[in-house]
Each structure stands twice: as C-alpha cells, then as structure tokens.
Structure 1
C-alpha cells in the first residue's frame, strides 16, 4: 500500500533513531480511538491519518503521524485496566513477581509509568512498599488514589523523573504496561529512566508484540494510542542508544500477544539466553522485512473485504448483528472497513463512561451489557477478541440460544 503519486512508499523520520521510515500500511482517516461522543460533539470530532512505517536502520515499526498526547490522555479518558478479571490477576501476579525478584532492598521504591486505575500498584501498596504512579489522565488517576495508590497526574519525562529522584531517591523498578508504545518522545522517556533508575535497577515494560500482530493479522492493534510496535531487536537497539541493555524478554498471552522487556544499565546484568533466542527467531522469520510487512498489509485488505461481505450478507438476510466490547482498537476496524449502524446496530460495553455515547468516527450507539440478550441478537461481532475466552464463558446463554460470534482475527470466521 502506498501514499505517493508515483507509487513509492511515503517516507518519514524515525522517532526512535532519526533514520528513515517507509510506509507499508495505510488505514486511512481515523478518529481518536477512545473518544466516545455525545450527539452534540459530533461536529467537532478530531480525525488524523493512520499509516504505519518501518525504519530501515533500527527496524522500529511506528506510526507515520503523531496525535498530540493531550488529545488522547485527559481527565475523561475512559479505559480502566482493571475492567477485566484476567487483567486484574495478570497485574497482581506481575506486582508480586517484581516485589519478590527486583524490589528486594531494605527500602525499595517502585515507579509505574501510566498506572491507570492503579491495578498493579495496589498490590505494591498493600505490601507496604514505597511507590509512585505517573498517570496524566485525571479520572483514572483518581480511581487509583481511592485505592490508596500514590499518584501524580503528570506525564513521565526527563524533567518529572529528575524531580522525583530529588524527592524520593532512585527507583529500584520502573514499570509500564501498554504505555511505552504510546509515547513518541522515547528520548525523553529513556533519559528520564536514566535519571531515576538506581544503578542496579531495572526498567520493565510490556506492550503488544509486532511478531504476534503480524502472525494474527491483528491490525486493530494499530490506532492512535499505539505509536510504536516493538520487537526484541528494535528494543535492543533503542536501549543501547541510551546506555542500557535488553537483559530479558518474556512472551505474554494477554491483549492478543505481548512481550515483557527488561532493561538494565549496560554491563549491570548478563542478558538471559532468551533475548538472543527471540531476536534470532525474529531474524529468521523476517519480522521487520519489507516483504513480510507488505504481505501483512495485503492480509489486512483481505480481512476488510471478507468482513464487509459477511456483514452485508447478514444484513440482506435480516439478521440482527451487534458488537461486543467498545474497545479502542475497534475504532480502527470500523473506520477502515466503513462499518456503521447500518451494519452493526449497537455495541455493548461494561464501561459506564462509554455507555449512552457513540463510537468514534462511525457513531454506533454504545449500550449497557443488559441489552445483550439472546432474543435481541443473532450475531455478535467480537471487538474484544483478546478477551474471547472470558467473554464467551460469561455469555453461555447467548450460545445456547443459537447465537453466533463473528471474529476477524486471524481471519474472518463465525463460531458459536
């Protein structure tokens, strides 16, 4: 897919190393993925161009256009990390692991970048360990404070990290989940980590994994909030530019496939064998090769074609089709495919801040989960596919009544 008159890929500057990026996927005009609207807000809706490129130098895959951070993360940001029981357990387990293996000194200090509603730091707080969460979205930060978590409503960057170092001392652990990939200004983040991290401390972050996105054709992982799409090789190169080393990687099943990266100061730790193993696997599979990325782009086009054909067929048959999960990533699917209320009547979601509003861009009404009853739905398009097991186990009555689920990862298919 190209974006220039002569058919060559559009080019830009890599936000990780300053090299040259070449576009390989164009997902078109897109709204803010988490901006659920009321009727009177539709006229002022913000849109941008969503396209993805790869750096020829450091292999970092990234968006070609940056959305201002204040547009995305603000007082009314609606996503709550603790909304899933699976993720609650994941973050509690993560906190316990960090406390047992990293924050082991006499007075450890744990910092989280983008702590959201405090789902991870609650366990740290309950253990009586000093901690601090950075969370620029005021609403979810207030929820974290309600659970006793210490939070500052600021963006983490070099200046704020230095201030914390002066008042609280060095951090033994700096953690982030589904946050670092959101941040285009990685230079300030890494300089902040350098300023705040103890000499033997670790910076641990987990984000969607490029390898899984390619394998599953999960193109809906690409939206305004996800600026970078990390691989082990690109993270290793990023760390080295700031005097750090990638010392461990761990594949995670959450959110459709992630990797947890552990970074330490160069020379402070011996890298685990699985770092080289994952990088070798990426090289063998050509994860950042242009041919592989072009094949991914073609697969995305195929999903759009197949999904629209299915939805139009069901509409012609008079079937009642709704969606399940008003996720941020569903904005990419609906706007790229052109799926509006004519094809999907409404979407149900458990988040109160989204209910009674309209989805970004395509303006599908969001309803409460009690609207999802077998007599009201024939087919459910599962936007929250990364929570499929949890959702389908909860909605057994829908299945028993003959209801069908529509999924589009890794391909368009229907299942009961």
Structure 2
C-alpha cells in the first residue's frame, strides 16, 4: 500500500506514487568475494508533496553511506561533460565574476573540472567535497578543496575565512541533499547580495516525458521542477530568476537563484512554469501514469533479455553507472542474463554491480570478444559511446536501449 511522509521542504504530506522495491547503494560496488549478506538495501519509493509539489524519495539513505573516501564517480570521465563544465566556467567568468577579486564556491566539486578553469583564470575559488578520494584528485590539479559536507555552519566558517561569494555553484549535487533548509541558509550566509546561486540537476519534466526512471536512485533525493524550486527558494529568502534546459545526463535544468528582490526573473522562468502546467507535472495522475510506463519498460526489457538468452545470444552491459542499479535490481538482471558490464572507471573494474553482482570488466574485455548485444546503461552518453565503439557495430553488434522504450539499434 502506498505510504506517506513529511515533505523535507515545506513539512506538508508527501504521497507515494511508485515503489521500485528493494534497492542497494547505487555506487557501492562490492568485491566478488565479499560477504554479500552485509550489503545495505533500502526501499526506493518516490512521492509528490501535496503542498510545495516537490517530488522526493520516501526514505533517506544516510549520507555517509553514499559519499565517502571510496566514492567512485569522476566528473571528468566524459569528454562531453568536461566541455560542458569548462563552457559554464567561461560564461560565469564573463558575466558574474567581473568585479574586483571575485570568489566562487562549488558544492560537490568532485575532481575539480569546473574549478580548474576558474583557477587557471586566476579567480579565488573553493570546492566543498565530502568524498575524499575525488577531493584529492581535485587538489592534485591545484584546486583549493575543503573536505566536508556543505551546510549552514560550513558556510559561516567559509564566509569568516574568505568573505562572501559572487557565485555559489553545484552540479548534480543539490538533488542529493535532503537537509535543504541548512543548505539554503548556508547559501544566504555565504552569498553576496548581488551574487547568484547556480545549480543544475536532473529535471523531473524530462524524467516523466522520457520515462528515464533510472534517474531515480539512492543519491537523488529530490527531483526538481521550476515550480518546486521557486517554492523552495521563496521559503529561504531566495528567488528563482533564471532557468535553462540542458541536454546533459538525459535532461537537466540549470536554475539560478538570487536573494529575493535583487534581480528580475527572466522570461524563461515564466515559460518553463507554463510548460510544466501543461505537462501536469504537479498532478498525481501524471506521475501515476509515469509509474505505469516504468512497469511496462521493466516487463519489456526483462522479456527481451530472456528471449535473447533462450536464443543463445550473448549480452553485455555498457557503463556501470549509478543509475544502472535501479534498472538491474528492478528488472532482476543478473549474470545469467548479462554476463558482465564494461566500464572505464578503474575503481569499479574487478568488482561486481550493487545488488545483482554482475562482474564489472574493462573496455578491453568488451573488445576482446564482442557480444551480440550491448545493454547501454550509460544511455545519456549514447552518441559519444556509439561513435567510440564503431568496431562493435562493424562486428555485427547491436545496442539495447530502454529509454524512452525498449528497442534494439545498430
């Protein structure tokens, strides 16, 4: 039976609309010989707040279980994403960082790909990154990094040491953090009155429209829309002043917040709000329909993999992404259906996938004996990956995709 919870933004009631069942930590890749009986699982379910309309997880996973010294995701692993962050840095330098001695703070700076461009421009900067391993990678590039979670107390310490920031930025970070009140109080304390808080995260509108359900996993607690972000900002003395749709990670929005009354919202804000109303994103019926589409894709993908197995075909996964944990565990995809997953991340290689324990191997293993089919978990990088793996196609290999529906492509 669907459950209810209290909204982490406004305190109103959150009504569950889909249950993904028992799920593991999406970035916890165990060793093959590990004691899997101790593997952490939780119930992954998502709901809609009937007050502020924020979509959020029904249960919170403790943050120190997800973000720690061995956190394996590296932002600069994709050439496309490197260009994305470098392009944003150039834009901020030209628009928001033009005063005397500008200062930028990035929440969840990962391995420092965006701040590296700031450092090379001679701009004062600070990355706040709780995952020690990737923070060390940033520091090795000459980035100034503070190893900690960002909250109000952190912000006040930074303000006392460095002064206020012209820009506070976060990419694929804010949606991870349930304690939003402390985060935004920290933003208010650290941001100059003329400054901006810019963050980009997966967009609920794209998730619903494309049925990209694998964007829902333990690390993504909130699923933002312009309407819910506007409500969240207003409760914390901030105002939504700009939005920009982004093609990265399967569809995101870059939101710009400023202290209330300091800037005039752009026309793009009103336009996206209208679009969301037309899409009925705040209506339970639209989200329940999304849930039915998830179930359809689950059934179609499982049926396809079983058919290919019965036909004696070989299937390998491509990209041991965090979001693939949702797919494999929801669909019950184990090594009998997908023999291994290839991934370029050294920290994941030689381990097994969370929950389903599919071996993770190198791209060299993929190329050594091409399978008949590759299940593309990293579908948000499809164009980049397919171009790189032309030899797989030339050998007769075919790709399996499941967003927005299950299909085979050459």
Give the C-alpha shift of residue 284 in structure 1. 1.3
Residue equivalent to 2:24: 31
Alignment partner, residue 279 of structure 2: 285
Aligned to 2:344: 350
Q: Tell me how far apart the structure 1 counterparts of residues 38 and 76 of structure 2 sit (CA, whole Å).
A: 31
Shift of 1:290: 0.6
Tell me whether 1:272 sits opposite 2:271 in the alignment. no
- The 5 Å alignment of 1:113-124 reads 113-124=107-118
1:225 aligns with 2:241: no
- Matches of residues 92-131 of structure 1 in structure 2 within 5 Å? 92-131=86-125
Matching residue of 1:257: 251
Is this contact kept in 1: 2:370–2:397, CA < 8 A?
no
Matched, 1:213 2:229: no
Partner of 1:10: 3
* 2:156 aligns with one of 154, 162, 182: 162
287, 304, 310: which is aligned to 1:310?
304
Aligned counterpart for 1:56 among listed residues 50, 53, 56? 50
The answer for the alignment partner of 1:389 in structure 2 is 383
Q: CA deviation at 1:43?
A: 2.6
Q: Say whether residues 1:297 and 2:291 are aligned partners.
A: yes
Taking the aligned partners of 2:180 and 2:12, their CA distance within structure 1 comes to: 14
C-alpha distance in 2, partners of 1:192/1:396?
47
Q: Deviations over 1:151-183 (max 9, x none)?
A: 000000000000000010000000000000000
Distance in 2 (alpha carbons) for counterparts of 1:304 and 1:351 = 27
User: How far apart are residue 41 of structure 1 and its match?
Assistant: 4.1
1:244 counterpart = 2:226: no
Q: Does 1:403 align with 2:397?
A: yes
SS in 2 for 1:187: helix
TM-score, length-normalised on structure 2?
A: 0.99
Query: What root-mean-square deviation, in Å, do the aligned CA atoms of Structure 1 and Structure 2 show?
Result: 0.7
SS in 1 for 2:227: helix
Conserved? CA contact 1:374–1:397, under 8 Å: no
Following superposition, the deviation at residue 374 of structure 1 comes to 7.0
Please list every run of 5 or more consecutive structure 1 residues that lacks an aligned counterpart in the other structure.
Answer: none
Determine the C-alpha separation between the residues in 2 that align with 1:340 and 1:100: 49
Partner of 1:338: 332
Name the CA distance, whole Å, in 1 between partners of 2:187 and 2:367. 48
SS at match of 1:34: coil
Listed one character per residue, the Cα deviations across residues 274-316 of structure 1 (whole Å, up to 9, x for unaligned) are 1011001101110121110000000000001000100000000
Please give the secondary structure, in 2, of the residue aligned with 1:66.
coil
Q: In the alignment, which of 374, 393, 404 is matched to residue 380 of structure 1?
A: 374
Task: State the distance in 1 between where 2:55 and 2:65 align.
Answer: 22
What per-residue deviation string (whole Å, max 9, x for no partner) do you get for residues 186-227 of structure 1? 000000001100010000000000000001100000000000
Aligned length: 409
1:303-339 deviation per Cα after TM superposition (whole angstroms, max 9, x unaligned): 0100010000000000010000000000000001100
Question: Do 2:370 and 2:395's aligned partners in 1 also have CA atoms closer than 8 Å?
Answer: no
Structure 1 match to 2:69? 75
Name stretches of at least 5 consecutive residues in structure 2 with no aligned partner: none
Task: Please state how far the C-alpha of 1:375 moved relative to its aligned partner.
Answer: 3.5
- SS of match in other structure, 1:373: helix
* Secondary structure at the counterpart of residue 343 of structure 1: coil
Rounded to whole Å, the distance in 2 between the matches of 1:264 and 1:375 is 53
Q: Where in structure 2 are the equivalents of 1:85-96 lying within 5 Å?
A: 85-96=79-90
CA deviations on 1:44-69 (whole Å, 9 max, x unpaired) are 11100000000001000000000000
Relative to the length of structure 1, the TM-score reads: 0.98
Query: Do the aligned residues in 1 keep the contact of 2:338 with 2:358 (CA within 8 Å)?
Result: yes
Distance, in Å, in 2 between the alignment partners of 1:132 and 1:232 is 28
1:143-154 alignment, distance < 5 Å: 143-154=137-148
